[in-house]
Structure 1
């Protein structure tokens, strides 16, 4: 038995057979120098269709510190990583992506900050070597989200960082089945130590993010931490209703004053109808996002269903 604290490293993967060996090698190179701690390395696989699971099982057979969770199906880009984090048992948990865009070499900086008393140590990427347009849009989104949120949110974070066990215990108690984790940890109010890094370009494999997943994350962040959109919808509805009444009264007065010379015409009617339909659909969609979030929470389905575990 050892009195050394256990630190957990959690990395989600989906079709990352080209990266898991190098990721493991780089993690081991880093943690070998951290002799004051024991480590567990948890891979949570989201039902990969390539050789990812086989490669991780090979690593687990050679190194008992490597643990594997395999999901029965692909549970998405939010639920699977979140489940992996909540299954860790260390005094602190380090989360990083398996695509090597979260460099393991930053892990010692996380640990030093944690030793200095920070319970949340988050990496932020003010500079990214990836797609410049996507990075710019993300920065704009973070500024927008921070502006409309009830709390101050962490910008330029991907979730890459260190979470103390005390923080994760609070997260487990909340039990959100579909959390915006980057916002949830800010809700808890702990002081966050940030460590900037330059995000490298993805070298192997393809990104699992697409327009839908990015939209999903963006809308989840908004509906989880702000009521501003739905209140704008209500205010705009009142405003349009009021203006519509004024316009109707104006048309009525003009028609009564200039009966023969003031035709109604179809153009203003059609424009008004289509404008109102467009606004209604927009705000019904916003309302639907909030209702969908409530529906997901009320269902209380399991975050993921596991197919197997290795080395637990």
Structure 2
């Protein structure tokens, strides 16, 4: 008899080439989960390919397959939140459909969370083989920076792939902020977590939708979400500029009054004006980033909007007409 239900939350955006491969691979390890049964909860994040059609077919042939389809693309963070919010299992795992998250780790995760005193078993890549060198370099620098300026520890190489207890999932769901950075949220809630290490894997098919600039933007969002150090830096820059200007004013006054050597030349003046103006705009940009995030939160918009599920699919509607 199956005592536990593991909900497998799978965010999907244009994953038509990998969905069936993912489903087949997970089916292979079902028997290794012992007393646990599984349900699939795919979240279609506004895909523009045949992802939704494939999900409809899977839901038809397997009663353990559920799906949510958004009205548009809301982003992976919203898809993960929707999956966690709608998962029925007493354990919930988040996995990517591209098989970069090894399904064969899931039985080990389940065994650890059942028999050891952990609330979460996560996964961590020990290398980044196969990634562009520039992306790998900036990723490592991001983890170094954010762990220095934030009180929330974010493990280098940690993936969203993790198995959580219902208690931890409920804690994560209490954080309903619109601008989400789940890697930080998973750490911030403070439950005991063990990480399993594995070698990096490339996508089995298709192409990633994460560009260098989208990852850079995501990293900046993470820094803004879990640290106010950039605001302190902008204040320090302003204070330093003011002190330097006072010192320079004293030097110019001494040279003029004592040594009769006034400073001349408009070139140096223009350079100083441009430098100060650039610093001001930089600091205003930092401040604007925080204000913009606060503005979005104040609107209280829904994190996601569901257009279709397996219970009200278009296929079902068509069949009902006949």
Shorter-normalised TM range? over 0.9
Cα shift at 1:5: 1.6
Deviations 1:22-79 (A, max 9, x none): 0000011112322301211011001111111111111111101011111000112322
Structure 1 unaligned blocks of 5 or more:
none
Q: Distance in 2 between matches of 1:311 and 1:214?
A: 35
Runs of 4+ in 1 over 4 A off after TM superposition: none
Instruction: Quote the residue 1:104 is aligned against.
Output: 103
The 3-state SS of whatever aligns with 1:304 is coil
11-20 vs 148-157, greater mean Cα deviation: 148-157
2:43 aligned with 1:44: yes
CA distance 1:195–1:208, change in 2 (3 Å): same
Matches within 5 A, 1:215-254: 215-254=216-255
Q: Please give the alpha-carbon distance, in whole angstroms, between the structure 1 residues aligned to 2:13 and 2:31.
A: 26
Secondary structure in structure 2 of the residue aligned to 1:146: helix
Distance 1:152 1:225 in 2: 10
Q: TM-score, length-normalised on structure 2?
A: 0.91
Q: Take 1:108 and 1:137, find their aligned partners in 2: how far apart are those partners? A: 33
CA RMSD of aligned residues (A): 1.7
1:264-304 CA deviation, whole Å, 9 max, x = no partner?
A: 21122111111111111211111122112212222211111
- Return the alpha-carbon distance in structure 2 between the equivalents of residues 156 and 252 of structure 1: 55
1:127/1:198 contact within 8 Å kept: yes
Q: Is the 8 A contact 1:66 1:311 kept in 2?
A: no
- 2:136 maps to what in 1? 135
Partner of 1:285: 285
Q: 2:154 — aligned with what?
A: 153
Q: How far 1:153 moved relative to its partner?
A: 2.2
Larger deviation, residues 18-27 vs 157-166: 157-166
Q: Is the 8 A contact 2:6 2:91 kept in 1?
A: yes
Give the whole-Å Cα distance in 1 for the aligned partners of 2:256 and 2:211: 53
The DSSP-based 3-state class of the residue aligned with 2:231 is: helix
TM-aligned CA distance change 1:86 to 1:178, over 3 Å: farther
Query: In the aligned structure 1, how far is the partner of 2:102 from the partner of 2:262?
Result: 71
Cα distance in structure 2, aligned partners of 1:229 and 1:8: 38
Q: Distance in 2 between matches of 1:70 and 1:62?
A: 18
For residues 56-109 of structure 1, give each alpha carbon's deviation from its aligned partner in whole angstroms, at most 9, with x where no partner exists. Answer: 111111101011111000112322222222221211111011122112111112
Select between 4-13 and 78-87 the one with higher mean Cα deviation. Answer: 78-87
SS in 2 for 1:58: helix
* Secondary structure of the structure 1 residue equivalent to 2:126: strand
Secondary structure of 1:150's aligned partner: coil
Distance in 1 separating the partners of 2:83 and 2:128: 26
TM-score by length of 1: 0.94
Shift of 1:3: 6.0
The superposition leaves residues 165-202 of structure 1 with CA deviations (integer Å, 9 ceiling, x where unpaired) of 10111122221222211111211221210001112122
* Matched-pair contact (CA < 8 Å) for 2:252–2:263: no
SS of structure 2 residue aligned to 1:40: strand
**After alignment, is 288-297 or 94-103 more displaced?**
288-297
Measure, in 1, the Cα distance between the counterparts of 2:219 and 2:271: 31
Is 1:201 equivalent to 2:192 in the alignment?
no
Q: For residues 136 and 263 of structure 1, do their structure 2 counterparts lie closer, same or farther at Cα, with a shift above 3 Å needed? A: closer
Q: Distance in 1 between matches of 2:217 and 2:82?
A: 18
